[in-house]
Amino acid sequence: MLDSSKPQYPPLPLIQTWIWMMTQSGNPEIQEKGQNNLIASFGSLAKANQYLLEQEGK
pLDDT at 30: 97
Tell me the HSE value of 53 on the side-chain side, using a 13 A CA sphere. Answer: 6
Local mean pLDDT, 10-residue blocks, the chain (58 residues): 71 96 96 97 96 89
Q: What are the b/e assignments for 27-56, b being 16+ CB within 10 Å?
A: eeeeeeebbebbeebbeeeeebeebeeeee
Domain-by-domain residue ranges, the chain?
A: 21-56
Looking at residue 33, its pLDDT comes to 98
Give me the pLDDT at residue 7, please. Answer: 75
Q: Note whether 10 and 41 are within 8 A (CB).
A: yes
